[in-house]
Amino acid sequence: MSTATPAPEAISRVRLARRAAQVPPSATAALDAQAKALIAQGVDVINLTSGEPAFPTVEPAGQAALDAIAADFTRYTPAAGIPELRAAVAEFLNRHGTTYEPGQVVITAGAKQALHYAFTTLVEPGDEILIPAPYWVSYPHLAALAGGTLVPVRPAPGAGLKVTADQLRAAVTDRTRVILLNNPANPSGVVYDRTELAALVQVAIDHDLAIISDEICDHWVFGAAEHVSVAALGPEAAQRTLTIGGVSKTFAMTGWRIGWVAAPAPVAQAITAIQSHTASAPSSISQKAAHGALTADLTSELERRRLELDERRRTTIKALADIPGIEVDGNPEGAFFLLADVSGTYGRTLAGRTITSAADFAELLLTEANVAVVPGADFAAPHHVRISYTVPPDRLTEALGRLAAFVDGLGKRTA
């Protein structure tokens, strides 16, 4: 360790507010960064941590952005977003049976910012937000920033990583304010069907709770699964639901930072007011790009991508089924992730180390086999690793081969 005195500008005399001090950096981002750093050093790491499909941004988005720059469309836009994009989003959402008007849509800098606004708008200090576990890493921190507490509702063992309405109902307290649903789910890839979803929504109706429904992966459903939008489950659902989405995953536009929230009009207005004093509005150029993506005929291109991803999903599930000690949990029919239970490798050894947790497993897999996956502790899945299967097929096959060889090479159980 260096004993050199840090430069004066490296020393902070600034006291962080508790709300900032309590927020750790995203664990997924940290692992992604670690894998990318190894790649930059020339190590042939295959990165299965990524939260984005490995496809290029759809072509009409880029062209619309270039046109926007050429036309000097580079000023503040209305706080809720440009009208044509709000209308295009409403139409895009309504393909799932909702009846959103453009005035109910607020355009944000990614779905993440939409979630931040949703929590800020709904949650009072001390409020509880129920969430089926496993859940996406950012939710607890987004809830905490608004002064709320995320309360995980855990699935029963062997229940396919899904919670029931009875489990959700049992977790409701006087402080519960919101039920947060994420379907298709990150990190598990499970997809709740219409009946299951309607039962969860009924809990919100019975207890007069709001619903935040994160449907960012609505395009990525496979096999027999279909995407069901919560706000399409009837007027009682629509009147209490904030639908979160964006272009990031469907159109491979994560860096453009365009998302949205669609909500009952007074909620949309409150969110617009908050955005007007914080971001002003998302990037004008990115809004035009999103509009280009949403209004082009991309049906066959998006379907081709969906089928490609489905192929990678099937390849991954099949390969993992043949690896003793690793088990895919639940039925990953959506998004581009799955959770693999690695507790069957606990007690086994490699390079003088014994695997006692999913974090050990992930670290050894990265350092010894150069495959990066995310350990599940921050997703409330401590015995699982999340595998993102979006990488190109040849890299995926290579990664799955390395994974199999890694497990095969583990020393015998020590306990």
Decide if residue 214 touches ligand PLP (CB under 6 A).
Answer: yes
**Identity of the residue, 186 or 283, whose beta carbon is nearer to ligand PLP in the bound complex:** 186
Q: Does 378 bind ligand PLP (CB under 6 A)?
A: no
Q: How far is the CB of 410 from ligand PLP (least distance, A)?
A: 31
* Residue 186 CB, nearest approach to ligand PLP (Å): 4
Residues numbered 338-367 forming contacts with ligand PLP, rule: CB under 6 A: none
Return the exposure string of 53-75: e unless at least 16 CB atoms fall within 10 Å of the residue's CB, then b.
bbbebbebbbebbeebeeeebee
End-to-end C-alpha distance for the chain, whole angstroms: 35
Residue 381 binds ligand PLP (CB under 6 A) = no
Residue 100 interacts with ligand PLP (CB under 6 A): yes or no = no
Strand runs labelled E in 24-88: 46-47
Q: Figure out which of the listed residues 53, 259, 292, 325 binds ligand PLP, where binding follows CB under 6 A.
A: 259
Q: Does 26 bind ligand PLP (CB under 6 A)?
A: no
Identify which of residues 107 and 410 has a Cβ nearer to ligand PLP in the complex.
107
Select 77 or 186, whichever has its Cβ closest to ligand PLP: 186
User: In whole angstroms, what is the distance from residue 269 CA to residue 273 CA?
Assistant: 6
On whether the CB atoms of residues 328 and 339 are closer than 8 A, the answer is yes
Asked if 389 interacts with ligand PLP (CB under 6 A), we say: no
Q: Is 51 in the site for ligand PLP (CB under 6 A)?
A: yes
Binding segment for ligand PLP (CB under 6 A), chosen from 104-112, 124-132, 168-176, 349-357, is 104-112
Nearest approach in angstroms of CB 142 to ligand PLP is 10
Nearer to ligand PLP, 51 or 292 (CB): 51
Told to check if 110 binds ligand PLP by CB under 6 A, we report: yes
Q: Could you say which residues in the range 133-152 bind ligand PLP, by CB under 6 A?
A: 136
Please state, in angstroms and rounded to a whole number, the distance separating the CA atoms of residues 310 and 320: 15
Smallest distance from ligand PLP to CB 239, Å:
23
Residue 216, interface with ligand PLP (CB under 6 A)? yes
> Least distance (Å) from ligand PLP to the CB of residue 182?
5
Q: Which residues of 114-126 are buried (b: 16+ CB within 10 A; e: fewer)?
A: bbbbbbbbbbeee
Handedness of CA 160, 163, 165, 170 (dihedral sign): positive
Residue whose CB is less far from ligand PLP, 51 or 330? 51
Minimum CB distance to ligand PLP, residue 112 (Å): 3
Which tokens in the block code for residue 18?
């508790």
Q: How far is the CB of 181 from ligand PLP (least distance, A)?
A: 11
What is the spatial distance between Cα 378 and Cα 362, in angstroms, rounded to a whole number? 13
- Strand ranges in 139-288 using DSSP code E only, listed in sequence order: 149-153, 176-182, 210-214, 241-246, 259-262
Q: How far is the CB of 89 from ligand PLP (least distance, A)?
A: 13
Long-range CB contacts (within 8 A, 24+) of 377-380: 377/27, 378/27, 378/28, 378/137, 379/133, 379/134, 379/135, 379/136, 379/137, 379/187, 379/339, 380/133, 380/134, 380/135, 380/152, 380/154
- Rounded distance between C-alpha atoms, residue 241 and residue 233, angstroms: 10
- State the Cα–Cα distance between residues 253 and 65, nearest whole angstrom: 12
Nearest Cα to Cα of residue 168 among 199, 213, 125, 126: 199
Q: Alpha-carbon torsion 358, 337, 308, 37, what sign?
A: negative
| Closest residue to bound ligand PLP by CB | 110
CA-CA distances (angstroms) from residue 321 to 33, 218, 220, 336, 341?
A: 29, 26, 22, 18, 11
Per CB under 6 A, does 186 bind ligand PLP? Answer: yes
Applying CB under 6 A, the site for ligand PLP has a residue count of 13
Question: Taking CB under 6 A as the rule, does residue 248 contact ligand PLP?
Answer: yes
Which one, 215 or 329, has the nearer CB to ligand PLP? 215
The length of the chain, given as a count of residues: 415
Whole-number minimum distance, CB 138 to ligand PLP, in Å? 7
| From candidates 45, 111, 238, 399, binder to ligand PLP by CB under 6 A | 111
Angle, CA of 336, 91 and 266, to the nearest 5°: 100
Residue 81 binds ligand PLP, judged by CB under 6 A: no
Residues that bind ligand PLP (CB under 6 A): 51, 110-112, 136, 182, 186, 214, 216, 246, 248, 254, 259
